[in-house]
């Protein structure tokens, strides 16, 4: 069950002052002397109280907060824009407003925006955690009883609900497809190696190669920022290898688009001369030239599922953790060369 939140009355009792004095401290009023301010502030910090600005603003109208927070780690990646659209479709129809924020992979920024959202009285939070997030970062939310759904990235030990995609299965299927096309030197390009998503996708890549009896070459796994620029960098390094790859599974679609850019810059045509597979299936994947073969996660659908899970917890009045893994599917288009009659023969030569 959702735990009782610390109130102004609790702060006043612990500090030995009146409720109105605590309110004045929270409002930074000059009417409170410094010694009292220091004492009350220390109690606030000790009890983990968060000033709910939203509730304070709504008390006069006796209204109820209808705000859902969503925090993502990289809004420049269109995957997260589509995810947010999916969340909004569900929460809007339920009468909630979405507050969206981007951390840019900064833990400090993440703490700031989550704290601000709590001050405004969010009813629940959907978060794709920044790199380096650990269970302790989410503990104050759990303690306060605010329902939380983690998506895309998981955090070990966090006692909150999670919605992830089948990263291992998707990567395994992608590599098996490249193997069926005749490729034997397949790279894994992009992504930060210190994230759980990377570990799961890379493991799927390795398992598919090992199943086919092909030795895993660590040099063919080239990490980079999970962005278009990161893809350009990764393929540039891959092609400098003594025995360069003929195909690549990319960490995500953004990296795959950058890989295609990098190949063209070297007068190598993606799909015809080098096979490329992404991961996510963002909107641009279908209209790219060549159209991108990718593992479809359905980011908008993922956002809808995350929102539905969060609303169930809010409406039930409890935040019991659930762990859901969404299925994925390989969508074969042109960038892997599957549609070329001589694709497999060219690889074998």
Any idea which residue has 């040099």 for tokens? 219
Query: What pLDDT, on a 0 to 100 scale, did the predictor assign at position 338?
Result: 81
Query: Three-class SS of residue 28?
Result: coil
Query: Three-class SS of residue 274?
Result: strand
pLDDT in tens, the chain (349 residues): 445 677 888 888 998 988 878 887 887 777 778 889 899 989 888 887 876 655 555 444 434 468 999 999 999 999 999 999 999 999 999 999 999 999 999 999 999 999 888 888 899 999 999 999 999 998 888 888 899 999 999 998 998 999 999 999 999 999 999 999 999 999 999 999 999 999 999 999 999 999 999 999 999 999 999 999 999 999 999 999 999 999 999 999 999 999 999 999 999 999 999 999 999 999 999 999 999 999 999 999 999 999 999 999 998 876 678 999 999 999 999 999 986 544 333 333 3
Name the CA dihedral angle for 248, 252, 253, 256, rounded to a multiple of 10 degrees: -30
Query: What pLDDT, on a 0 to 100 scale, did the predictor assign at position 294?
Result: 98
CB neighbour list of residue 81: distance below 8 Å, 6 or more residues apart: 75
Separation between Cα atoms, residue 256 and residue 190, nearest integer Å? 9
Domains detected in the chain: 8-49 (1.10.260.40), 62-165+299-326 (3.40.50.2300), 167-298+331-348 (3.40.50.2300)
Query: What pLDDT, on a 0 to 100 scale, did the predictor assign at position 9?
Result: 87
Query: How many CB atoms within 10 Å of residue 324?
Result: 14
Query: What pLDDT, on a 0 to 100 scale, did the predictor assign at position 62?
Result: 39
Burial grade of 313 (CB within 10 A; 0-12, 13-18, 19 or more): buried
CB neighbour list of residue 210: distance below 8 Å, 6 or more residues apart: 216
Query: What pLDDT, on a 0 to 100 scale, did the predictor assign at position 1?
Result: 44
Any idea which residue has 């601000």 for tokens? 116
Query: What pLDDT, on a 0 to 100 scale, did the predictor assign at position 54?
Result: 53
Contact 76, 226 (CB under 8 A): no
Contact 330, 295 (CB under 8 A): yes
Query: How many CB atoms within 10 Å of residue 59?
Result: 10
């Amino acid at each position: 069950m959702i735990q009782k939140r610390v109130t102004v009355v609790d702060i006043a009792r612990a500090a030995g002052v009146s409720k109105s004095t605590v309110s004045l401290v929270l409002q930074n009023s000059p009417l409170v002397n410094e010694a009292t301010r220091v004492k009350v502030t220390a109690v606030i910090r000790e009890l983990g109280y968060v000033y709910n600005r939203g509730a304070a603003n709504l008390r006069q109208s006796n209204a109820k907060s209808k705000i859902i927070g969503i925090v993502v780690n990289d809004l420049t990646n269109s995957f997260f824009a589509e995810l947010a659209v999916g969340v909004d479709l569900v929460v809007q129809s339920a009468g909630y407003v979405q507050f969206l924020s981007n951390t840019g992979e900064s833990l400090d920024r993440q703490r700031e925006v989550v704290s601000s959202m709590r001050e405004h009285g969010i009813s629940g939070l959907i978060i794709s955690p920044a790199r380096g997030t650990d269970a302790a970062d989410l503990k104050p939310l759990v303690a306060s009883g605010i329902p939380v759904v983690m998506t895309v990235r998981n955090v070990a030990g966090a006692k909150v609900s999670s919605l992830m995609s089948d990263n291992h299965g998707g990567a395994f299927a992608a590599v098996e497809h490249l193997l069926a096309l005749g490729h034997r030197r397949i790279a894994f390009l992009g992504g930060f190696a210190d994230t759980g998503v990377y570990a799961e996708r890379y493991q799927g890549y390795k398992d598919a190669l090992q199943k086919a009896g092909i030795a895993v070459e660590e040099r063919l796994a080239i990490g980079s920022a999970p962005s278009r620029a990161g893809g350009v960098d990764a393929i540039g390094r891959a092609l400098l290898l003594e025995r360069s790859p003929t195909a690549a599974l990319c960490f995500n679609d953004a990296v795959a688009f950058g890989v295609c850019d990098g190949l063209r810059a070297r007068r190598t045509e993606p799909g015809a001369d080098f096979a490329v597979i992404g991961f996510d299936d963002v909107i641009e994947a279908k209209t790219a030239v060549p159209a991108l073969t990718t593992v479809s996660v359905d980011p908008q659908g993922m956002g809808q599922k995350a929102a539905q899970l969060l609303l169930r917890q809010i409406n039930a009045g409890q935040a019991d953790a659930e762990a859901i893994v969404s299925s994925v599917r390989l969508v074969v288009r042109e960038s892997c060369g599957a549609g070329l009659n001589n694709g497999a023969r060219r690889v074998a030569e």
